[in-house]
Amino acid sequence: MKYAMLPQLDTKVSKICLGTMTWGQQNSESDAHAQMDLALDLGVNFWDTAEMYPSPPDKDKQGTTERFMGSWLAKTGRRDEVVIASKISPMSFLRDGQTRFNKDHIKSAIDDNLKRLQTDYIDIYQLHWPERQSNFFGKRSYDEDMSAQDLSELTPFLETISALNEEIKQGRIRAYGLSNDTPWGVMRYLWEAEKHHLIAPITIQNPYSLLNRLYEVGLAEISHREKIGLLAYSPLGFGVLSGKYLDDKRPAGARLTLYDRYERYINEEAKRATKAYAKIAQEFDLDMAQMALAFVNSRPFVTSNIIGATNLSQLKSNIDSINLTLSAEVMAAIENVHQKIPNPAP
């Protein structure tokens, strides 16, 4: 395994992060425990979860993923060997759909996170997506509803930062990060924190893959210059970049077979790009999923690459991508496809 340093925490995290959002939907508690055992054995010490999980969201199953992780931590006693990231989520069935990133809601959410995880602290606590409307979750445009928002009706940035700083002082979280945010949002958090001499966010969790490299437009430079690392999620585009959906296949039990809400990963342009990437993998005798993950692993602004799996063989193969270095020829071929079909699945 390879590791990245989080200088703000003086902590090393694995360049591969264990994603957990299938636990409780596609994976049982015993499956989850087996994944945690294998991941840690292979050097993956960084695990990501959220109060909302499993995903797709389900009111009756909400929090199951954290409970599975918590039962493993209680059973093994290995809490000090792992770095755990979790999130507060503005979901309709949480806090009556009125979630605000204010002191009361952040405290309430962390109370519940810690209880489910059976731990005294969370290493990185993330704001799952902004309170404000913006162009995330597949939105390319900035529409009238977004531009008409009155931000004075939302929680002030300073209030959110102050609440998270207080949680750090109390030792209930060690650091905090953002997720699904925009360049403006990230810089606003950084500016407010600097202005008021408060601790700033240290990571941002956004989508990044061969099918969605929008992070490179604006946010990558922020990562570089402000030392706020990307935790890349959906690096396989919900499994599309494994090649298993090529030629309109729908494998039994696969995520896009079960849940059609993620169709943006298989629009016509995404299909065309995926075929082109599959051709590169075939030409250079590479496993397609490992090639896609190795590309993400190689990016200098990526702190960790969040991979998920529904079985152990898939998990091991994805983790093994850390040992693959793509040649200059492969990288040039990937860039050629990107220039022709840029970001087909935002």
Q: Which of 3, 53, 142, 245 is catalytic?
A: 53
Residue appearing with tokens 């490992």? 290
Q: Is 53 marked active-site? A: yes
Number of CB atoms found within 10 A of residue 323's CB: 11
Instruction: List beta partners, residue 46.
Output: 17, 83
The answer to whether 78 and 40 are in contact (CB under 8 A) is: yes
Burial label for 108, CB within 10 Å (0-12, 13-18, 19+), is middle
Which tokens in the block code for residue 320?
A: 């093994």
Other CB atoms closer than 10 Å to residue 19's CB: what's the count? 24
Interacting residues of 336 by C-beta distance below 8 A, sequence separation 6+:
none
Is the preceding peptide bond at 207 cis, omega within 30 degrees of 0? no
| CA–CA dist 49, 180 (Å, integer) | 15
Q: Please give the Cα distance from 68 to 4 (Å, whole number).
A: 26
Reading the block at residue 151, the tokens are 């931000």
Residue type, 102: N
Active site residues: 53
